[in-house]
Chains A and B, each alone.
Chain A
Amino acid sequence: MPHLDAGYNLARWLTRDVHDAEDVVQDACVRAIRYAATLRRDDARAWFLAIVRNAFYDWLARNRPAEVVHDDDAIDAAVDDAAVDPARAAERIADLRDLADAVAALPLQFREVLILRELEELSYKEIARVAAIPVGTVMSRLARARALLRRSPLLSVVTRPMTGSGR
């Protein structure tokens, strides 16, 4: 299985747990064998990542149904809640030790596009195919993910020179 590492990495970031990630990837392997016929030669990695993602959402529905959010409005609401109240956002991320924790704390739909882009280095088009959303949604979710991260105090080193040097 050539893309097992990529698949496991994605599952690990989605489930945020070693064992759950293993379960998800194992399920994905079973599916990959069954759906081998649907594989197009050129994009095996994106194809397998899409299977891992589907396996993950099925796993999520079975094990943590409360976390399944179907529409973007609900995500926006969850996020804007923190956006209008910076104190709450700061509180939410104040305890985080490093950037990885900040990413792990992102809402699922933002986390997945960010991981696919930054770690798996997929193109917008590939991400759109893996996550079954339009390219425009990929872009807006990526932008939201990054905006949320930039708000983290962990990144103040990055953001401060920008406001400082402007004057």
Chain B
Amino acid sequence: MIRELIINLSFLFAVFSFITGVKMMSKPDTAEKGNLLSGLGMLVATIATLCQKNIIGGFSGIALGLVLGGVAGVIAARYVKMTSMPEMVALLHGFGGSASLLVGTISFFLMPHSDALTTITIFLAIAVGGITFAGSIIAWAKLRDFSISKPTMLPAHHFFSLIVMLSLIASGVLLCFPQYQVNSTVYMMIALSLLMGLMAVLPIGGADMPVVISLLNAYSGVAVCATGFVIHNYLLIVAGALLGANGTILTRVMCKAMNRSLPNIIFGGFGTKVAAKGGKTGGKVASITVEDAYAILEAANSVVFVPGYGMAVSQAQHAVKELGALLEDKGCDVKYAIHAVAGRMPGHMNVLLAEAGVSYDVLLETDDINPLLEATDVCVVIGANDTVNTSARDDESSSIYGMPIINCDKAKTVIVLKRSMGSGFAGIENPLFFAENTRMLFGDAKATVQALVGEFKE
């Protein structure tokens, strides 16, 4: 009796710690402690579960699983590069989904003839878990390997997706009838859910990954919730609900930042059209050298850096921070403008700059930086393109018209660091590059910024 009480109180503590952990994340100063508290709650809940009466054996297997997963987790968390965080998060989603899928499957094997309510939750745990798993693995592969990050569409893709989805639902309905409560129904369900996840993520391009990752976050929340209903554990339900809420909020933020509806992104194929309707471009491109750029920066009293995915690709964050620090030393006001969809996942740029040691209070969102740009001397764009494309603001015929952008062109001078004149992910020409106050500085972002740092040190 007393054991039961202690176990239940432990679960209650875990719920408290998860919620408080999330609450403490509303401020960067308390976030770290919140994470520790949350982890402590998890530890307590795990130990409490191991002490439960109905755990009667299999300890060697449990220990094996814990050690395998734990060691892999430690290694991954220690050695993953901050530029690879999107892959790491995709992988975490994948493992979360597969755990739900497996627990759902095992629960069915252990009690195949359950009531309808339990059966439906088993179906949800398997189906959503499978979709999350397969989808995350594809997302992970797309993030890792640039060559497959393009949207891929099979012939009649949406038609087949619909068939797969309907079949998946049908398999769930079948499972509610006693004569179909057999293993083969579950196998079919697993196969369909994996196929569904695969087909859902394949047509989505690399730059839309922030949305996919957010969406998979919500899916894995639903999978965890469903698993909670299967095993009647409110702890799983609370955790799943937090995750679901998070995924939904982030998905909404990402969609808003791109001014695109969720269906538009999910049904994908964006950027596959050969001629995306772009902004009118014309005029000359003014290309400058590192020395010229140095002269411009040297004279500036305020500088705003606008990083994009290009900064992550060339690992330029440390060099950028060094340049920023040098500018600050000579009394220049330095800020960073972070667009919500810059990079490959929500908050990607913030983490990179934080890694380099940039203070988080000079990282500003689009809405906060835009009013300041008119009074800014120099705006330095590093590997960003679509998020600073003025055709999104000025040209109604542009396919990205209406997407909120960072108004770099309002600054007195814009220096754009870019590998070549190629267009961005959306395949749209960027009028900013042709603007009168824009200077293009071609080359690898990291090498260029390092050269600038060298100039300042001389």
Q: Do A and B bind each other?
A: no
Give B residues with C-beta under 8 Å from A: none
Give A residues with C-beta under 8 Å from B: none
